[in-house]
Structure 1
Amino acid sequence: MDDRVWTTQLTPLRFLRRSADVFPEKQAIVYGDRSLNYREFAGEATRIANALRASGIDAGDRVAYLLPNIPEMLIAHFAVPLAGAVLVAINTRLAAEEIRYILDHSGAKILVVDSALYGGIVPIAEELRTVTEIVTVTDPAAPGEGSPVPYERLRDRGSERPLDWTVDDENTTIAINYTSGTTGKPKGVQYTHRGAYLNSFGEIVHSTHTPESVYLWTLPMFHCNGWCTPWAVTGIGGTHVCLREVRGEVIWELIERHRVTHLNGAPTVVTTVLNAKSARPLDYSLIVTTAGAPPAPTTIGQAERMGLRIVHVYGLTETYGPYSVNEYQRAWDELEPQARARELARQGVGMLQADRMRVVGEDMEDVPADGATMGEIVMRGNNVMSGYYRDPEGTAKAFAGGWFHSGDLGVVHPDGYVELRDRAKDIVISGGENISTIEVEQAIVAHPAVLEAAVVGVPDSTWGESPKAFVVLAEGKSATGEEIIEHVKATIARYKAPKEVDIVTALPKTSTGKVQKFQLRS
């Protein structure tokens, strides 16, 4: 007798079935005047899954979605895998040619697209090699041109005929997420049912979700499947508040209307929330889980004063989003606010569901835990992708030595907490000295007139390379480049201060809030 006959395969599909059983009448999704309870949520996912099967989607086929954070995108995270297919969620800000590449490379058979975005893909529609049908979702909040197949027609092909909320193999692919491709063609990062299931528990635990959670969708669902939060919040029975676009005033209106308890996003999203005209101190704790770039200690301090509790996580697309968390230590309560913020700005330790995060030298040996010796951050385990889709060479390179290589440089402090110092490609080497652009950026943002900053290396005839800063000033504040340079020199080692400072109105960013430094270098 098989001694594992009683085990079941891990899949986040089970989360929606459980919540529909346990919380059938509880509000699951709210968007404007629309609202679905968990019974209706499960019914919609089942109907769309049956519709996809009726449309010719077989096990393992790819179904692409090009949607903002509206209910149909959330439903897709369950409907597509429930149909046995693989979800390909596409960045809504990509150019048509980038979208074409992803659709062709993934071999997607059906594309579901927001009608407001449909016009942008019309020029490539006839060139798509594998897409047999383009379905448009029309959002009354932003109507646009519809394709010959409206979402309602797709939906009508389905029914609520019961489907099995399980999988035969937990290691099959549930989603493919494409990297930004700033250094080449985008890579298709494969997530498994097992990995998504386990990562969801990490999100529940470390962001302290409960059935009373009211989660605001400030993080794009196309980015690492929203850090697996579509599955996590559903699993715990919380409420999803959908949000079409990230705007400070809208965010605060929804926070007040729904008494939002949680939101996720890059530090730039946190900055948007903190600096909105309607921002005010809250009378309860709103948990903000942030990643994408290390939050400046100044930002963390400001958030605390507003009643926002920062949960700082770190990861990449290849690690299902968050892999590590800055696990809070009660001893930090005794620190001065600035000192505590510096502790919170570190990337921390592996999350509960992840392996230990390592920092290694070129020999793959761990660097000393001295807070100074830099090495590359490497990871492995359930929280790491199964590989790049149709790219065995890229996969082998990424996992050289048996660990996933992040390309990020960091140090390990004596307490075992890892601190990110830079991307390997972003480190500035000036006169033989390594200068962390993150350290310089945090020093700049500590200036009271500064809202945001980005630092890059530029050629220097004397030192080979030197730091240059691009700075966005806070509304109503003023400062000169010279004043900012002097401020940095008084904060960190003088040789690390930027030689130039450009005051700009905005920094170039990706749709997930990451600064596109390659544009600043050009």
Structure 2
Amino acid sequence: MGSKYQQGLDRNPANYSSLTPLSFLRRSAHVFPDKVAVIDGDVSLTYADFHARCRALANALVEQGVQRGDTVSVLCFNTLELLECHYAIPMAGAVLNALNTRLDAATLRFILEHGEARLLLYDTEFEEMVGDAVSGIAAAPALVSISRPSGPSQGLAKLDYEQLVAAGDPAWPGRPVENEWDAIALNYTSGTTGNPKGVVYHHRGAYLSAMTNAIAMEMTADTVYLWTLPMFHCNGWCYTWAVTAIGGTHVCLRKVQPQTVLDRIRICGVTHMCGAPIVLNMLLNDFHKNGVSLPSSVQFALGGAAPPSAVIRRGRELGFDITHLYGLTETYGPSMLCVRQPEWRSLPLEELAPKMARQGVGLHAIDEVAVAGSGPNGFAPWDGQTMGELLMRGNNLMKGYLKNPDATREAFKDGWFHTGDLAVMHPDGYAEVKDRAKDIIISGGENISSQEVEDVLYRHPAVLEAAVVAMPDEKWGESPCAFVSLREDSSATDEQSLIAWCRDKLPHYKAPTRVVFGELPKTSTGKIRKNVLRDQLRMK
């Protein structure tokens, strides 16, 4: 016999609906119809206009034959069109596949074939590459050109984006989301080896990730968000939906250039932005060199490696309030945040920075974070020393990898998502990532965190970027090798002085035994390609 709380208390249309971020646009268009929703160069849309255009595009896609569950791919910069596609494509019941703008034709062809794209909407700046990619596909997607501002298609595409919008019904309500577990987006990992994996997001996870990310960055209806983070990267960490949820303003940015960023901040009153370390370093370096300070504080959410104290200090001097977030493609972008405790406010920066460099605790949609270990419960002790794989479980984890059940089972084995990152758990329950499992250096039987060595290098005033990898060593098996790029305005430095800098701040066995100077290779999302650096060492 069922509980009294189950009898006659079933869910119904009055008390239940599937969670979907599409509801954010409907709400903001109702609450803030005349408020500016999107600024893209000389184009400015209110929420009412934005909503109407998305509905029209969704209707036009359906008229073009798009069915529920079809993949619609988009190759576009951070412009109005890609932002609209985050709503219009799911409104049509389809799955958005936002493509990396730094792909080559072969990788683009693989993704279009693997994801079975029905349509490909593309900025005509990529017309030549798109032509090369689709020419080898048996069931090639229909092509829609985005001609603003790159000019019309040179005959490759038979359809035009603005013509589609104009042909659609701006009052069309969209296909209802029947199940919040349905796919909303397909994102491909920026893997450094082999073909990328297709990560599938669901409506529920996108909704909850957007809400928790808005909370993490303390966003309100006064938020003005500048798109320095690629919208193709984890759907812009779900800020494509989060900014709309709170009724903020999206400021689109086709390409990240320091002067353009500064102009947008000053003209539009930007309050928030996100990016990888390469973006933050570029802005800080340029603004510092040119004596620029921001008119008001701007919150900058930083992904990737934790910022050293020197970066935090320089950011504050210029007007950036830096928050470090941790996440992966498989977690819709950010999944952890180092929540600041009240007693930290009085700490000097040198004591605050190590605390803030930790990845911290799960965002609201993450239920649990743990570090695997050999303890009686299968986890590492909270001692800040014992390393193990970082595990998590919660609502903003992917459905799985498209057409790859083995990889999906491996990622979710034992009821936890396995990140592949090595971490420690501190006594206060805050996790700190020490390295990727594949990046740990084992020298003379001792584990060396490459991130720990990199943090020391970043504190050197001449260092712009640094990466540390394992180098074969006849005596120790492996030893650390540092790859470093220097600041333009830095005084000259040499290998031995950097090694001495590290030996002065680390146990000597952790210090690099070699330093290589030059530009560091990166993935399309700004991550340093350590596999390329390791290959360089093996070839010598």
TM-score with structure 2 length normalisation?
0.94
Q: Are 1:456 and 1:517, in contact at CA under 8 Å, matched by a contact in 2?
A: yes
Deviation at 1:345, TM superposition (A): 1.0
Q: Tell me the residue number matched to 2:121.
A: 112
Q: Tell me the residue number matched to 1:280.
A: 292
Unaligned runs of 5+ in 2: 1-7, 536-540
Picking from 385, 397, 402, the partner of 2:410 is 397
Distance 2:225 2:20 in 1: 22
Query: Partner of 2:261: helix, strand, or coil?
Result: helix
Q: Tell me the residue number matched to 2:5.
A: none
Query: Partner of 1:19: helix, strand, or coil?
Result: helix
Picking from 303, 319, 322, the partner of 2:334 is 322
Deviation at 1:166, TM superposition (A): 4.2
1:508 is aligned to 2:521: yes
Distance 1:219 1:458 in 2: 33
Distance 1:129 1:43 in 2: 35
Q: Tell me the residue number matched to 1:39.
A: 48
Distance 1:388 1:27 in 2: 37
Q: Are 1:409 and 1:420, in contact at CA under 8 Å, matched by a contact in 2?
A: yes
Distance 1:210 1:222 in 2: 24
Deviation at 1:96, TM superposition (A): 0.6
How does 1:258-269 map onto structure 2 within 5 Å? 258-269=268-279
Letter in structure 2 aligned against 1:499: T
Query: Partner of 1:409: helix, strand, or coil?
Result: strand
Query: Partner of 1:185: helix, strand, or coil?
Result: coil
Q: Tell me the residue number matched to 1:497.
A: 511
Query: Partner of 1:295: helix, strand, or coil?
Result: coil
Deviation at 1:339, TM superposition (A): 1.3
1:50 is aligned to 2:59: yes
Deviations 1:347-371 (A, max 9, x none): 1100112112111126871111111
Picking from 460, 465, 482, the partner of 2:473 is 460
1:202 is aligned to 2:202: no
Distance 2:479 2:205 in 1: 41
Distance 2:416 2:448 in 1: 26
Picking from 351, 359, 368, the partner of 1:339 is 351
Q: Tell me the residue number matched to 1:291.
A: 303
Distance 2:153 2:503 in 1: 52
1:9 is aligned to 2:18: yes
Picking from 458, 461, 469, the partner of 1:448 is 461
Picking from 202, 224, 244, the partner of 1:192 is 202
Query: Partner of 1:177: helix, strand, or coil?
Result: strand
Letter in structure 2 aligned against 1:401: D
Query: Partner of 2:418: helix, strand, or coil?
Result: strand
Deviation at 1:429, TM superposition (A): 0.7
Deviation at 1:305, TM superposition (A): 2.3
Q: Are 1:28 and 1:240, in contact at CA under 8 Å, matched by a contact in 2?
A: yes
1:427 is aligned to 2:458: no
Deviation at 1:141, TM superposition (A): 5.9
Distance 2:257 2:102 in 1: 16
Distance 2:141 2:432 in 1: 47
Query: Partner of 2:330: helix, strand, or coil?
Result: helix
Query: Partner of 2:181: helix, strand, or coil?
Result: coil
Distance 2:486 2:249 in 1: 36
Q: Are 2:131 and 2:156, in contact at CA under 8 Å, matched by a contact in 1?
A: no
1:474 is aligned to 2:481: no
Q: Are 1:293 and 1:514, in contact at CA under 8 Å, matched by a contact in 2?
A: no
Assess, with a 3 A threshold, how the Cα gap between structure 1 residues 142 and 212 changes in structure 2: closer, same or farther: farther
Distance 2:184 2:500 in 1: 51
Distance 1:445 1:73 in 2: 35
Q: Are 2:92 and 2:175, in contact at CA under 8 Å, matched by a contact in 1?
A: no
- In the alignment of these two chains, the number of paired residues is 521
Distance 2:306 2:219 in 1: 23
Q: Tell me the residue number matched to 2:365.
A: 353
Distance 1:115 1:367 in 2: 52
Deviation at 1:297, TM superposition (A): 2.6
Compare 157-166 and 297-306 and name the one that shifted more. Answer: 157-166
Deviation at 1:510, TM superposition (A): 1.9
Distance 1:193 1:468 in 2: 44
Q: Are 1:214 and 1:258, in contact at CA under 8 Å, matched by a contact in 2?
A: yes
Compare 180-189 and 346-355 and name the one that shifted more. Answer: 180-189
Assess, with a 3 A threshold, how the Cα gap between structure 1 residues 449 and 226 changes in structure 2: closer, same or farther: same
Deviations 1:414-463 (A, max 9, x none): 11111110000111111111111111011001011111111111111111
Query: Partner of 1:253: helix, strand, or coil?
Result: helix
Query: Partner of 1:357: helix, strand, or coil?
Result: strand
Distance 2:497 2:155 in 1: 53
Letter in structure 2 aligned against 1:94: L
Compare 128-137 and 437-446 and name the one that shifted more. Answer: 128-137
Distance 1:8 1:254 in 2: 38
TM-score with structure 1 length normalisation?
0.97
**How much is the aligned-residue C-alpha RMSD, in angstroms?**
1.6
Letter in structure 1 aligned against 2:193: T
1:131 is aligned to 2:140: yes
Q: Tell me the residue number matched to 2:226.
A: 216
Compare 151-160 and 479-488 and name the one that shifted more. Answer: 151-160
Distance 2:149 2:133 in 1: 25
Q: Are 1:62 and 1:109, in contact at CA under 8 Å, matched by a contact in 2?
A: yes
Distance 2:35 2:467 in 1: 44
Letter in structure 2 aligned against 1:275: N
Q: Tell me the residue number matched to 1:300.
A: 312
Compare 303-312 and 261-270 and name the one that shifted more. Answer: 303-312
Deviations 1:352-406 (A, max 9, x none): 1211211112687111111110000011110111111111111001111111110
Compare 79-88 and 141-150 and name the one that shifted more. Answer: 141-150
Distance 1:145 1:415 in 2: 60
Letter in structure 1 aligned against 2:481: K
Deviations 1:216-248 (A, max 9, x none): 001001100000000000111111011111122
Picking from 363, 368, 372, the partner of 2:385 is 372
Distance 2:175 2:242 in 1: 16
Distance 1:386 1:467 in 2: 38
Deviation at 1:145, TM superposition (A): 4.6
Q: Are 1:440 and 1:455, in contact at CA under 8 Å, matched by a contact in 2?
A: yes
Q: Tell me the residue number matched to 1:84.
A: 93
Unaligned runs of 5+ in 1: none
How does 1:127-206 map onto structure 2 within 5 Å? 127-140=136-149, 145=154, 147-149=156-158, 150-164=160-174, 166-206=176-216
Letter in structure 1 aligned against 2:206: A
Q: Are 1:50 and 1:161, in contact at CA under 8 Å, matched by a contact in 2?
A: no
Q: Are 2:371 and 2:380, in contact at CA under 8 Å, matched by a contact in 1?
A: yes
Assess, with a 3 A threshold, how the Cα gap between structure 1 residues 146 and 156 changes in structure 2: closer, same or farther: farther
Q: Are 2:443 and 2:479, in contact at CA under 8 Å, matched by a contact in 1?
A: yes
Picking from 222, 233, 238, the partner of 2:243 is 233
Deviation at 1:307, TM superposition (A): 2.2
